[in-house]
Structure formats: structure tokens, C-alpha cells
Chains A and B, each alone.
Chain A
Amino acid sequence: AQSVTQLGSHVSVSEGALVLLRCNYSSSVPPYLFWYVQYPNQGLQLLLKYTTGATLVKGINGFEAEFKKSETSFHLTKPSAHMSDAAEYFCAVSSGAQKLVFGQGTRLTINP
């Protein structure tokens, strides 16, 4: 069975500050890992994904994440937060089937 734990249901940072959203996963097989963003009253938009290869993955809107197998982590970072980054972020894992297992989500607030 697979599972995802997102540390911190709510993260607040100042505009221009570093954004760090934490995600740890559990998987019995090599995982595929994803970060999605959800704005109010909208569906999910893929920010980035790790399937195989390079462990540092760059995504849209300046976000990136690093797959660390030894730590079973896939933390999301952005060097400088923008007001438009305020949203809910979901980390997800898949074993390769078209089935995603999501974390509980982290609501990111940006303070001016």
C-alpha cells in the first residue's frame, strides 16, 4: 500500500520568502511522485512530477522538488514566494497505475 504525509496543513510565508512544503511518502515499489496545486473552486493543476532519472525536478511557476529515496521525501520549494502562489498544494504518489494517492494537502498563505 502507498501513503503520503504532508507535514503542516497550513504554511504561511512572506512575499519574497522561501517556500518549503514537506512531503514524505511510503511505497513498496519505485514510486512516481507529483505535486498538484488547487486554487479555490478549481480542479488540480500539475506543478511537477518525478518518474525516473534526475532527482531534482523543475516545474511550472518557479517550483522545484527533490526526490530523496533515502529519506522517502519529495519536498516542494520555491525561492521567492509571490502573492499568486496562495493556494492548496497536494503531494501524490502512484505505483504506475492510473491511480493517485494524495496527501491531506497544505494550504499556503502569502503575507504582503
Chain B
Amino acid sequence: KAGVTQTPRYLIKTRGQQVTLSCSPISGHRSVSWYQQTPGQGLQFLFEYFSETQRNKGNFPGRFSGRQFSNSRSEMNVSTLELGDSALYLCASSLGQANYNEQFFGPGTRLTVL
């Protein structure tokens, strides 16, 4: 079974631009969660989508948004990029139907904002 894939793996943008990151979950998984990893703040939960609906949300500004498609693929968008948005963005997929299902992580997209 193929793992979680994220594209692109690396991205360089300038301040003020917007960016879209993509995540393809493991086949059969309906939940996709996104995390931001930075040296200063560590790993922080952004949001989770299940069956095309946002089910959980972390404490990030509205510049961070996401969506999920009917095939469970998910995209994350960051508008008006700031230097502090430079980070490794990880997505994780799970079945999402029990109290807790194991989350499987992708390799991440490393975003650099100049």
C-alpha cells in the first residue's frame, strides 16, 4: 500500500505571496490532518478534514486554510506569506472513524519564505 504523499517537497516563496500544498492520503483513509513544524514552536496542529469537512482546528490565523476533495486528497493554502511561515508542513492520514486511529505521516513539504 502506498504511503502518504506530499507535493511539492520543497518550495521557495517571497513575502506576500500565497502557496498551496497538496497531500494524498493512504488509500481508504478519510481523515487528513496538517501540522506545522518549526524549530521555535515545534510541531503544531493546523486542522483536520474528514469526508470533505473540517472537523478540528488549531490556533492559526485565517491566512491558513484547507480543503478536502471527494477522493480524500487535501490541500492547504497559506495566503499573504510571512517570514515566520517558513516551516516543514506535515500531513497525516488515518481512517478517522474510531476514537483514535493511528496517523500515518507524509515526508512533508519544506516551505521557505524569503
Contacts and interface: CB of A to CB of B under 8 A. Distances in A.
B68 interface: no
Interface residues of B, number: 27
A32 to B, nearest CB: 5
Nearest to A51: B100
A49 B105 contact: no
B108 A43 contact: yes
Interface in A45-78: 45-46, 49, 51
Residue among A36, A43, A49 with the most chain B CB within 10 A? A43
Contact of B105 (A45, A51, A98): A45
A94 to B, nearest CB: 6
Nearest to B96: A98
A39 B99 CA distance: 28
Given A99-B58, A104-B42, A32 B100 contact: yes
A100 B103 contact: yes
Nearest to B43: A102
A98 B42 contact: no
Interface of A: 32, 36, 41-46, 49, 51, 90, 92, 94, 96-105
B63 interface: no
Contacts, number: 59
B94 interface: yes
Contact of A44 (B44, B50, B56, B105): B105
Contacts of A51: 100
Nearest to B45: A99
Given A32-B99, A43-B4, A96-B99, 17 more contacts: A32-B100, A41-B107, A43-B90, A43-B105, A43-B106, A49-B102, A51-B100, A97-B55, A97-B100, A98-B31, A98-B103, A99-B33, A99-B48, A100-B35, A102-B42, A104-B42, A105-B42
B38 to A, nearest CB: 11
A40 to B, nearest CB: 11
B33 to A, nearest CB: 5
B79 to A, nearest CB: 23
